[in-house]
Chain A
């Protein structure tokens, strides 16, 4: 279902929303500063509290964006987890595309000159 035939793109549809529910619920909790602090204090315990699947827990441990998306994370919720580590969307883009942050930013600038 999630493959809609668009390269490099996961559509967050019903199948992904169902698969990622626990992980997204954890990320949603990070709207609250106390929950962000609790996560930083003991990441594994916090993940366990939200009943993450082993795949989701591993993805969070690795801080790997593509793994988290494959495990059903939605990028808007994922961004709240990334915020805890002070990673912005250029950092996320660089990691997902295997580029340096500078190269990723240059790619964005390049789109404006096209």
Chain B
């Protein structure tokens, strides 16, 4: 029986990859960010995930505008990182779990999510950097990627992304194999790279998001995507991945740790870990 043991949200800024490559983790600029992951790695030792579902957004590595899925689920035995054009080191491939992928796909399509399924899928910094932060020594569990379009509007709404996450949570709960599942959402929080408003950051809205993601995710579903852009920046919409992550936590949710720091590159960085105590576990206790 699969069980979702926790949810984690983290920023995925490309500059993190460069900082790791150059060994800058203890530099004053980077230390407040990287120190959060000491806590994250201790938490992983406690919750012991053996498979990961990751909501992230592709930035023009696997998907181009010729075919742009709103939601795409990986169903590959392995996912390769590749050159994104801006000098990040290419990281080693990540193992998939095709049985779990197809189980989730069955569940999601059964739940009326009309997905794109990918038996080959390159994964960019938004996918590999969080794994590098969480498992710097290797030993990354198999991962099922779920790519959420944050590039080309119209984007799926916060309400829809929360429902997507819940469908993932229900599907995972019906998986017959024993598995301890960690759900990750990457990106954000507030930042804007483009336009005369470049450099926009909104700490107050980020705090609201962290608070609501922890205890009241429904509190975010009345925002439109334009609202999120206005409040969080053009790339702040990556919080949609966090909302989907939170949706998958259907048990009793409590905050294990949170780290928030401005800035990393142009971004308000955040790390949030949520424990998810499943209903069955509560009844047994």
Contact = CB atoms under 8 A, between A and B. Distances in A.
A13 B152 CA distance: 6
A9 to B, nearest CB: 5
Contacts of B265: 88-90
A93 B266 contact: yes
Interface residues of A, number: 50
A59 interface: no
B263 interface: yes
Interface in A3-44: 4-14, 17, 21, 24-25, 27-28, 30-33, 36
Interface stretch (B106-114, B134-142, B194-202): B194-202
Nearest to A20: B65
Interface of A: 4-14, 17, 21, 24-25, 27-28, 30-33, 36, 65-66, 69, 74-80, 82-84, 86, 88-90, 92-93, 96-97, 104, 107-109, 111-112, 114
Nearest to A4: B226
B192 A83 contact: no
A90 B262 CA distance: 14
Contacts of B195: 8-10, 66, 69, 96
Interface stretch (B79-87, B91-99, B274-282): B79-87
A13 B153 contact: yes
Contacts of B235: 75
The interface size bin for chain B is: 35 or more
B263 A76 contact: no
Given A14-B153, A28-B64, A31-B61, A80 B196 contact: no
B229 interface: yes
A92 B201 CA distance: 16
Determine the main DSSP class of B at the interface with A. loop
B262 A74 contact: no
A7 to B, nearest CB: 6
Contacts of B84: 31, 80
A12 B153 contact: yes
B60 A31 contact: yes
A90 B266 contact: yes
Contacts of A84: 85
B194 A75 contact: yes
A76 B59 CA distance: 6
5 contacts: A9-B194, A12-B152, A25-B65, A82-B86, A92-B198
B226 A11 contact: yes
